[in-house]
Amino acid sequence: MAITEALKKGDKVVVVDKKPVKLTNSQKIYWPEEGISKGELVSYYRDMSSYILPYIKNRPQSLNRFPNGIKAPGFYQKDMDVSQVPSWVKTEKIFSTSNNDYIDYLICNDTATLMYMANLGCIEINPWHSQYKKPNHPQWMMLDLDPGDISFGEVVKVALQIRKAADELEIESFCKTSGASGLHIFFPLNTKYAYDEVKPFAAAFANLINQRIPETTSIERSVAKRRDKVYLDFLQNNKGQTIAAPYSVRPRPGATVSAPLAWSEVNARLHPGMFTMKNIKKRVETKGDLWEGVMGAGIPLKKLAVKINSLLKK
């Protein structure tokens, strides 16, 4: 894309790290009730890029696009039209077994690409758990706490039970808000294990929590069977699955953000709408990046298999 390209009125090109990013319709309102514009979304990702990029670099992206704002229908895009993207935007061909074909995934490794994605109306950043160079080995294991018709306070209690079990296993665990109604619990793996090794352990961990608090948790995939419980979703631990990245904005009222937490913050005062586009930057400037440990040495998954099975039998 050349800077000399003809621009529509109101459009502009900004140069970021020597890469020209075309910004269009910046005044379009994406959050009508809050009056937040597309331009503000792009600026948010520019300002937060140093915090977000470590967790999305070299990971195939599933773009969750809302080009007309959160009140209009959105759509997911995985396959990029490489003839239409700027030459400086990195894409990677990855074979999809479900499509029986190669998909040109976008790879976001820099601020310019993050801004390009936001300009496409990509409100939410959804990376794979693994990097394209090592696609079968996730960086982390996760449990997605997805509440049905139950209070957020119960989600917090479930998260604390997970923390307790992790402490018993002597492994690190990290919590963040989903930016919606749930919580995400992550365990560092450092790409040591394949998805086929990770998923059974995640399933065992979910079963352990369900065994301990069956009255408020469920491992049932069917929504009808877990309507009033917190779903312990361990099925996210598959190749190609995505989840909202740390500091990702969500296409929800309030422009909420998926915010990393200190475990001391996971308490009765926590609620899903606390962290937004408007306050998260000040928070990380004060508290730093609470998610750094997720990229750490990794838990000894194989050694833990026997231990978690012994806990399941109690």
Closest CA to 243 of 263, 255, 258: 258
Please give the Cα distance from 251 to 121 (Å, whole number): 10
The answer to whether residue 213 is domain-embedded is: yes
**100, 124, 148 - which closes a domain:** 124
DSSP reduced 3-state for 57: coil
Res 314: pLDDT:
65
Please give the Cα distance from 227 to 230 (Å, whole number): 8
Cβ–Cβ under 8 Å, residues 275 and 169? no
Say yes or no: 100 and 207 in one domain. Answer: no
The answer to whether residue 273 is domain-embedded is: yes
Say yes or no: 85 and 197 in one domain. Answer: no
The residue type of 208 is L
Say yes or no: 162 and 301 in one domain. Answer: yes
Say yes or no: 113 and 163 in one domain. Answer: no
The answer to whether residue 270 is domain-embedded is: yes
Say yes or no: 111 and 68 in one domain. Answer: yes
Say yes or no: 154 and 288 in one domain. Answer: yes
Segments in the chain forming alpha helices (H): 38-52, 111-119, 152-168, 195-212, 280-287, 301-312
The answer to whether residue 73 is domain-embedded is: yes
Which residues touch 297 (CB under 8 Å, ≥6 apart)? 188, 190
The residue type of 31 is W
The answer to whether residue 135 is domain-embedded is: no
pTM for this entry: 0.94
**124, 153, 177 - which closes a domain:** 124
Please give the Cα distance from 105 to 214 (Å, whole number): 40
Domain count, the chain: 2
34 lies in which domain range?
12-124
Q: What is the mean pLDDT of each run of 10 residues along the chain (314 residues)?
A: 52 95 96 97 98 98 97 96 96 89 97 98 98 97 94 97 96 97 97 96 96 95 86 95 97 98 98 95 97 94 88 78
